[in-house]
Structure 1
C-alpha cells in the first residue's frame, strides 16, 4: 500500500541475491547509520550530474507523500508528484520550480535494492531524448528514493487501453519511432551496450508532445562483451513480451528487446493487449493470434484497431505490420537491428493515405459489420472490461504466484512495472 514511506519495516526475504551485499537497515546508533549509508553509496557508480536529496526534502516536495500527490503504484513502490528548485534539491511551493516524479522503494528486500541500484547506475550514465531523465536520488538509512523528470501524459499503456478516446494513428507511429530510438541508443550507441529487458507499453512514458521516453531500468543488463554472444541470466520480464528463446534458455541478447518491440508495435496496431484472458479462446496471446494475419492482405485489415474507424494510413499500417512480423521472427538472428527499425518507422507518422477513403477498406468494413452487427460495440465493451479489471501482467517470469495490490491507483501513472497479482 502507498502512503508515507516512514515507519515501514524492512523484510529482506527476497528470492534473488543482490548485486553487492546489502547493508542491514537495522541500526543501533547514529554512527552505525552513517556507516550503513556510506557503504550503500559505495555500491553506486553514479554520475556526478545526479543530485543527492535528503529524505526530508523529498517528504516536503511531495507534501508528506500525501494521497493527492500519488501518481501511481507498482512493484518498485509508489510514485508521487513533487516540486523542487530548478537547479537544486530544496522543496518549493506546488506549481512552482521543477515538477518531478518521486519514486519510493518498497521495503521488500534484496531484489528491490538490486533493481534500485540498476536504475541509478544505468540512468546515472545514460542521457538521451528518448530515455526518461533521472534527476537524483536519496539514500538515508533504509530509505531509497529516485527523482525523475515529470512526464505529463503518463504511459502508452494508459492511452492505448484505459482511455475512452483512441490514440490517433500518427501519434501511435510517433511514439513507436521515439521508443525505437531509445532502444537503438541502448543497443548501438551507448558507451556500453545495454539490454533493456522490460520493454512494454507501461514503461513507455509520454511528455506533453507525445515524445516517448523509456522508463524503469530496474531489470536492465549490460550487453555481452568481447566474443560472447549472450548474457545468461535469471528469466525476468513480463509475460507476453519476453522473447521465446530467452524464456526457454535464459540467454539474453539485444534481439530479445527487438522481439518485445515487435509485441508493442502489434499492440499499437491492434489496440489489443499482449495477453488478454478476456478475449475469446485462441485470441488470448496477441502474437499467436496475429501471426496468420500479418502477411495476408484481406486478413491484414482485421488486425487494425477498429476504434480507429479507418483513420489510419494503409501504406503505413502495412509497413508497420511487416516490421512487427520481422521483429517477431522466431529465429532471433533474423530480427532487425533497432537502428533498422528506426529507419523503417521514420516515414510512417507523416503518411496521409487514409483507409477511410479507400473503397477496398469500406467494402471490408461493410462485410465485417454485416457478419457481426455488434463488432464495434464488442470491442468497446471489451475495453470497458479491461478498464474495470485492470491488466494481469507479471514482471517476474519465474515467480509462479504471489499476491500484491493492484498495480496502479486511479491516476494510472506507471513509473514502475506491476508485480504478480495472484490472478491466474
Structure 2
C-alpha cells in the first residue's frame, strides 16, 4: 500500500509525451510530488470493434516508452484499465491526492467525463485543474467582435493569424522540474492484460520536416509522398502542436499552417456546437431522405464501387489505417452524394479505421463533404471521381498501387452508380430537404 502523503497527479490523455506538455509542466511546478497516470478507458475501449486496433497498440507502445523515461528518473506511470470513475475511486483510496492536473479535451464525451471526475474529486476535497495543450488557440480565444464563435473558416483563420505571436508558440520547459516526480516503481501491464493484441499496421514515423517545404505543391497528389503523415502523432500528442505550428509558421507558404488552423477551428466548433457530433450543423439537412443502401455501403467500405479513385482510397484505409486527405474528400463526397448514404455511417467507419481519428476534425470533414456543416462545401458541389482522377492522379500511380486490376472488366466491378444520374438524384434529395 503506497504511503498516504499528499501528492499531485498528472492524467495523460491526448498528450503522450513528457516534453512541452502544458498540464504536466504546471503539475511539476505545483510544489508537491507528481505521480503520472493513464487510464485505458473501458467506456471507450469496450466500444472498439477490433481487438487488434492499431491505435491501442500505438498508445500502449507510447506509454511504454514514456514509462522507460520515467523509470530513469526514479518514477513510473500509474496505469488503470477501467472507467474513469472507477479509476479515481480506486486512486483516492490508495493515495492522498491534493490536485489532479490534466489538459483540456473538447469532445462531448470528454466534457461529461471531466465534469464527473471534478465532482468526485471535490467530494474528497481534491482539486481538478486543466490546461490548454492540444491547440494553439483555445475554445474562446479566437472569437467574433461580438464574442460569438466563428462558423466560417476564412475570417477565423485571419483572426487566428493576427493573434499569433511567439508567446503562443513557446514550449513549456518541463525538463527543469522533472526532479519533482513522485518516486515509485509500479507494474506496467502488457497489451494483452487490457484485452487487446498487437496490430500489424505500422504507425508512420514523426518525419514531417522533410515534407513541409514543398507541401503546397505536393499535398493534393495521392501518388506522391507529399503529405506529412504527422496526424496520428498530433492526435495522440506524441508531438507538440507548438512545435508543429512553429515550423509551419517559418514557411513562407502557409498552406501547412492552414491545416493546423483547420484543426483548431474544428475543435472550437465541437466545443460550442457539441450537437454536431451526431446532427447536421445546419438543421434543415437532418431532413435529407438518405437511401442508406447496405449493399452499396459495404461495396464502398471494401473498395469495390467501380470508381478506381474511390476504391483506392478505401483500400489504402484498410491496409494502412490512413488515407490521403484529397482522397478522404473524394470518398466522403461519393458516399454522401453519389450513394445518398448518411454521412454519419461514413464518419463511424472512418472512426473505426483511421489511426488519426479525431472526432472534431472527422465530423468537421464529413459534414464539409456532405454539405451539412459549418463552412461546408456547398451541397450542389459534387465531386466527379473521373475529374478528380484526371487532375490529381493523371498517371494513375495511386490507383495502380491500390487497384491494380482496374482495367480488367473480369476482375474489377462496373460502377455501382452512374455519375450523372447520381448527381441529379442527390440534388433533388438535398433541395427537397431544404424546401421541406
Instruction: Decide which structure has the larger Cα Rg and report it.
Output: 2
Under a length normalisation based on structure 1, what TM-score does the superposition of the two structures give? 0.23
TM-score (norm 2): 0.23
